[in-house]
Structure 1
Amino acid sequence: MKIGIVGLGLIGGSLGLDLRSQGHEVLGVSRQERTCKIAVARGAVDDAGVDLKFLADTDAIFICTPLAHLYTTVTQLIPYLSLNTVLTDVGSVKNSVVQAISPVWKNFVGGHPMSGTAESGIEAAQHGLFAQNPYVLTPTETTPLGAIALIESLIKPLQVRLYHCSPADHDRAVAWISHLPVMVSASLIAACTSESDSSALKLAQMLASSGFRDTSRVGGGNPELGVMMAQYNTVEVLRSLSVYRDKLDQIIGTIEQEDWSALEEILQQSQRDRPKFVE
């Protein structure tokens, strides 16, 4: 099958590597000629260019641009597409994306691979990035079954854990386990760096190890992604932040009152609940 990828960063490049390993021909488009050359050299695509018409003869296209550019990319692609071409995206917000794109292209399937690293760009692309991780598709009642089946046929061989849900349900769920952690993690880093005692701050920086590395990783990632999570999923991000603030206030209250048994109960419940999310 001939597959197009618009946006040859970490996700687009990694998709290209895996799809080519499955025997597909992959063509890429990037805004920068340099990125195109690196993608070809790394084997992420068979060929690449800077013009969207380069993807005119493809069966399916993965749009891996930032959320802010998804709709514009689709409208610019449309003049070059066959009516049977299936489009999908990889954005971390789905409701606004599906509502915007579905009316202008019926063969659109919202998608979100729940994979990533702290690195970005085509240089960070890697084989197997998606294996054993969730990959969510968010078709609606009007999404053609053939379009869904085609995208499934491409991503299932990547050994993903495939899920279907509505765009709205996706955004509410992902706010909790993806968007909220970015905001909390960023706040943690900001709180630490606000330490007014420079010697204490320097010592903290020297002593920071695996615990801080784990809890701060997503807050130290691509700022553009974090802004777009909040901008395009505002209602759900604010909802989750409000609940988180209430829980943090609860912990503050137990410490102020020196209610150690209540604090222990909170931490014990957290210990019991964590495996439901990460195992």
Structure 2
Amino acid sequence: MIRNITIIGLGVIGGSLGMALKKKKPEIKVCGIDTRQEVLGEAVARKAIDWGTLHFEAAVRDAEVIFLATPMTAMPVVCQEIVPFLKPGTIITDVGSTKRYIVNTLQEILPPTVQFVGGHPMAGSEKGGLQGAHELLFENAAYILTPTLKTSSNAMETVKQLVQDVGAKVILLSPEEHDRKVAAVSHLPHLVASALVSTVGELEEREKGYFALAAGGFRDSTRIAASNSEMWCDIFLQNEKALLPLVRGFRESLERLEKYIEEKNAQALLEMLRQSRLWREGLPTGLKGIVPQLHEAVVIVPDRPGIIAELSNLLGEQGINISDIEIQPVREDDGGIIRFGFIREEWRNQAVEILQTKGFPVRKTGV
């Protein structure tokens, strides 16, 4: 039975892992290491770790499992630093978003007495750092493990069990297959979202008023563009082999759409739109993604001081956790719309019932 786990890097993923492990497996002692003492103090206060240190030796010498939750570019350097202090049989796993480079590099660095299991939780938050961490981040999230011929069955089963303990769904892929498929369903969408925001942002710079009209469609399709820029820069550059052909394919799809519109070819345009809709409707449900899609409730509210606090208190008193709040004014002095986001569907449903009972017009949206 695993008793000692170390998490190196206490950002969104590392902090959330610690919180989930302490909630689900309180008997496990979780040590955290970060570059700042104040982060360690906050992590202890939020029950993400039992204790923290700034020093590698103290953090890893007794660890049975180590989660590398640093930026991907730092992982090789971190591994080189901790190798002298690792005891035989230690299992190391990472949370990096690309796998071929990380797996190959770390397996070369680590000694044969240490086992490595590549990992990638398909979960995240728009908020960076420990403040974006949440104990439910991995609930029903896909968590990809990428064993190789060098991975022992014991190490694989140990990491798999810990991943399941925090509520995630394990998917096994080779590092190469992971990079191809995740590039298509995660990396390319982020690149497209960033390009879309950039396109409209440049229009906004020249003529104000575009963003003021940005409603649900624009916000939903560009939500992931609000994620950590440095992290995504690393991801794009490390996974260029899988990503660039997809970018070219996406450009071709846009050019086809452009051609159909230019030629007023309604039949071809309609066929492409219908096929896209069918594929979208056929997406499997039940798994969260990199930035989880929230279960939302939209409330129409009067224009009066304290209305947001009033609604938040109503829900908080019933133990309902609000993950996101967005305010959309309708007209000056005429109230507006508040969009609440919840990680759990049952919280959203309870919130709708409570607000309806209090006389607020409310409807469900989102997932």
* TM-score (ref. length: structure 1): 0.96
1:169-228 CA-partner distances (Å, limit 9, x unpaired): 0000000011111111110011102227844xx322111121111111112221112211
Cα distance in 2 for partners of 1:275, 1:109 equals 34
Q: State the alpha-carbon separation in 1 of the partners of residues 235 and 204 from structure 2.
A: 31
* Alignment deviations for residues 34-69 of structure 1 (CA, whole Å, 9 cap, x no partner): 111110111100001111112210110000000100
Whether 1:214 aligns to 2:216 is no
Whether the 8 Å CA contact 1:4–1:27 is kept in 2: the answer is yes
- 8 Å CA contact retained: 1:110, 1:137: yes
In structure 2, the partner of 1:76 is: 81
Question: Would you say 1:240 and 2:246 are equivalent positions?
Answer: yes
Equivalent residue number for residue 58 of structure 2: 54
Match of 1:228 among 225, 231, 234: 234
Q: Does 1:65 align with 2:70?
A: yes
Tell whether the 8 Å contact from 1:29 to 1:54 is kept in structure 2 after alignment: no
Cα distance in 2 between the residues matched to 1:66 and 1:4: 16
Alignment partners' CA distance in 1, 2:106 and 2:148:
12
Residues 1:69 and 1:150: Cα distance change in structure 2 (over 3 Å): same
- Provide the rounded CA distance (Å) in 1 between the counterparts of 2:78 and 2:84: 11
2:108 counterpart SS class = coil
Residue of structure 2 aligned with 1:175, choices 183, 190, 197: 183
Q: Percent identity?
A: 33
Pairwise CA distance, 1:275: 3.2
Residue matched to 1:33: 37
Q: Take 1:48 and 1:117, find their aligned partners in 2: how far apart are those partners?
A: 23
- Aligned amino acid, residue 277 of structure 1: L
Number of paired residues? Answer: 277
Which residue of the other structure, out of 281, 286, 298, is the alignment partner of 1:275? 281
Q: Distance in 2 between matches of 1:66 and 1:196?
A: 32
Q: 2 CA distance for matches of 1:50 and 1:120? A: 20
In the alignment, which residue of structure 1 is the partner of 2:172?
164
Tell me how far apart the structure 2 counterparts of residues 213 and 98 of structure 1 sit (CA, whole Å). 35
- Cα contact 1:114–1:134 (8 A) shared by 2: yes
1:193 alignment partner in structure 2: 201
CA contact (8 A) 2:126 2:132 kept: no
Give the gaps of 5 or more residues in structure 1: none
1:251 lines up with 2:245 in the alignment: no
Give yes or no for contact 2:43–2:130 (8 Å, CA) kept in 1.
yes
Alpha-carbon distance between aligned partners in 1 of 2:282 and 2:141, rounded to the nearest angstrom: 15
Letter in 2 for 1:8: L
Match of 1:100 among 102, 105, 119: 105
Structure number having the greater helix percentage? 1
| Cα separation, 1, equivalents of 2:185 and 2:159 | 25
The corresponding residue for 1:112 is 120
Letter in 2 for 1:59: E
* CA–CA separation in structure 1 for the residues paired with 2:284 and 2:215: 21
- Paired residue type of 2:22: R
CA distance in 2 between counterparts of 1:276 and 1:141 reads 34
Correspondence 1:205 to 2:207 = no
Highest Rg: 1 or 2?
A: 2
DSSP 3-state at the match of 2:232 = helix
Would you identify which runs of 4 or more consecutive aligned residues in structure 1 move more than 2 Å?
A: 103-106, 196-199, 275-279
- Kept in 1: contact 2:204–2:210 (CA 8 A): no
Residue 5 of structure 1: aligned partner: 7
Contact 1:86 1:147 in 2 (8 A): yes
Against the structure 1 CA distance between its residues 231 and 197, is the aligned structure 2 distance closer, same or farther, given a 3 Å change threshold? closer
Unaligned runs of 5+ in 2: 286-367
Deviation at 1:233, TM superposition (A): 0.5
**Structure 1 residues 157 and 235: alpha-carbon distance in aligned structure 2, compared to 1, 3 A threshold:** same
Please report the TM-score for the alignment, with normalisation by the length of structure 2. Answer: 0.73
State the 1:159 CA deviation: 2.0
